[in-house]
Amino acid sequence: MAEIDKADEAQLLATIDRWVEREVAPRVKEFDHADRWPAELVEQMKELGLFGATVNADYGGLGLPARTYAEIVMRISSVWMALTGIFNSHLMLALAIEKFGTEPQRRHWLPRLASGEVRGGLALTEPDAGTDLQAIRLTARREGDHYVLNGTKTWISNGIEGSCFALLVKTNPEASPRYSGMSLFIAPKGPGFRVGRKLEKLGYKSIDSAELIFEDYRVPADHLIGEVEGRGFTQVAGGLELGRINVAARGVGIAEGALRLATSYSQIRKTFGKPICEHQAIQLKLGEMATRARAARLLTLDAADAFDRGERCDLQAGMAKYFSSEAALENSIESMRIHGAYGYSKEYDIERLYRDAPLTCIGEGTNEMQRIIIARQWIKQHAEI
Ligand SMILES: Cc1cc2nc3c(=O)[nH]c(=O)nc-3n(C[C@H](O)[C@H](O)[C@H](O)COP(=O)(O)OP(=O)(O)OC[C@H]3O[C@@H](n4cnc5c(N)ncnc54)[C@H](O)[C@@H]3O)c2cc1C
């Protein structure tokens, strides 16, 4: 079980706070508005160890518990959520290898991923398969000691800048049930694996979202995670609760960031002879925003604690993800309203949080599905018969 000494945790979080304040906050508008890859910040993230944040120390990572990791994601997201996408989806690739890979796979890949020498992400979604992941069509056909892959992924974070992906495929497209024919590969870029196009987005700028195309892409058989076919769907659907915890933490960050901006602006802006925070209409908004942000934080830390205790925590992670992402959306629009016309201006930070927030409601399972999954598990846990 990953653990960290309280003093070490405080020191690490103070380092992150300083980095966000000195390096990220002053430059975020420049990167975000130009939709420019933040190469300099990525180098600093390597030095901070963020690409190995949750990777076990035996494999060169920081080996942080989910709780500390969530605290880091909250802090960065309160200023610039997109930046966390660069290491979040990368860590999902690392987690898949650490949790489900063979020991030789761990020894080979994890140190390279933890240092940031190899960076990447998780490639599940296809043009005709998002929520219904079992409908994917990318196939992997065994040929001797290789597999030959054909198909297309889309919306893949780090698709252009990353060089290696955990790739969900069909090794048996005829299998029934469908999930039993799905497998997860470690897919480094090479001949037959190319980027289709960069996708333009409302927010979540600077991090690249891309279409990935596989045409007779050959991957050695030892790149199949766990080296047993048919486990891919279970690995991505059941094994990666940390993904939902990190989207929840992003939501908390945006909800808290939007609150902080509104708190400060409402004390400076005056109408009718007094700061707007003294008008009851604004106080009602601030009261709701502060409560939502706090509740989102507590739900997310509750899920992270359950994860750190090694418990099955998909119910807590689902609740945290759902609630925190909705809190991000609501707080960002309320903060924008509190800013009046300036909330609509590109000179103020709130417009970025408002553009970034909706993604948290889509990624790692849409909030529509999230509520259905929560309800199903809830009923199972409270079965009367
Ligand atoms: C910026 C960005 C980054 C992303 N990064 C990645 C990445 O790195 N890797 C990756 O694999 N994917 C990534 N995605 C894709 C994301 O995971 C999918 O968009 C998401 O899973 C939803 O799939 P979809 O867009 O195909 O929507 P659909 O599955 O087509 O759903 C459309 C709507 O129908 C609803 N719906 C669908 N089925 C049901 C149902 N059974 N009951 C009720 N409602 C339902 C959904 O909730 C949604 O509202 C990213 C997406 C974005 C926008």
Pocket of ligand 1 (CB under 6 A): 89, 121-125, 130-131, 155-157, 201, 204, 209, 359, 362-363, 366, 368-369, 372
The C-alpha angle with vertex 109 and arms to 107 and 114, in degrees rounded to 5, equals 100
What pLDDT is attached to residue 179? 97
What pLDDT is attached to residue 240? 73
What's the rounded Cα separation, in Å, for the pair 71 and 91? 15
Closest atom of ligand 1 to 366 CA is 47
Domains of the chain by start residue, with CATH: 6-115 (1.10.540.10), 121-231 (2.40.110.10), 240-381 (1.20.140.10)
Are residues 61 and 55 in contact, defined by beta-carbon separation less than 8 angstroms? yes
Q: Distance, CA 370 to ligand 1 centroid (Å)?
A: 11
The pick from 125, 364, 374 for probing ligand 1's pocket by mutation, whose C-beta has the most ligand atoms within 8 angstroms, reads 125
Closest by alpha carbon to 90, among 136, 129, 53, 138?
Answer: 53
DSSP 181-237: GEEEEEEE--TTEEEEEEPP-SSS-SS-EEEEEEEEEEEEGGGBGGG-TT-HHHHHH
Q: Distance, CA 255 to ligand 1 centroid (Å)?
A: 22
The tokens describing 311, both together, are 């418990």
- Element spanning 133, H or E: none
| pLDDT by position in tens, the chain (length 385) | 788 999 999 999 999 999 999 999 999 999 999 999 999 999 999 999 999 999 999 999 999 999 999 999 999 999 999 999 999 999 999 999 999 999 999 999 999 999 999 999 999 999 999 999 999 999 999 999 999 999 999 999 999 999 999 999 999 999 999 999 999 999 999 999 999 999 999 999 999 999 999 999 999 999 999 999 999 999 998 767 899 999 999 999 999 999 999 999 999 999 999 999 999 999 999 999 999 999 999 999 999 999 999 998 989 999 999 999 999 999 999 999 999 999 999 999 999 999 999 999 999 999 999 999 999 999 999 998 7
Closest atom of ligand 1 to 207 CA is 1
Q: Distance, CA 378 to ligand 1 centroid (Å)?
A: 23
What's the rounded Cα separation, in Å, for the pair 342 and 81? 21
Q: What is the DSSP letter of 20?
A: I
Are residues 244 and 317 in contact, defined by beta-carbon separation less than 8 angstroms? yes
What pLDDT is attached to residue 62? 97
Strand partners, 129: 126
Strand partners, 270: 275
Closest atom of ligand 1 to 158 CA is 8
The pick from 366, 369, 371, 376 for probing ligand 1's pocket by mutation, whose C-beta has the most ligand atoms within 8 angstroms, reads 366
What's the rounded Cα separation, in Å, for the pair 316 and 296? 12
What's the rounded Cα separation, in Å, for the pair 377 and 315? 7
Nearest CA to ligand 1 atom 2: 155
- Element spanning 281, H or E: helix 280-308
Among all residues, which ones are annotated catalytic?
364
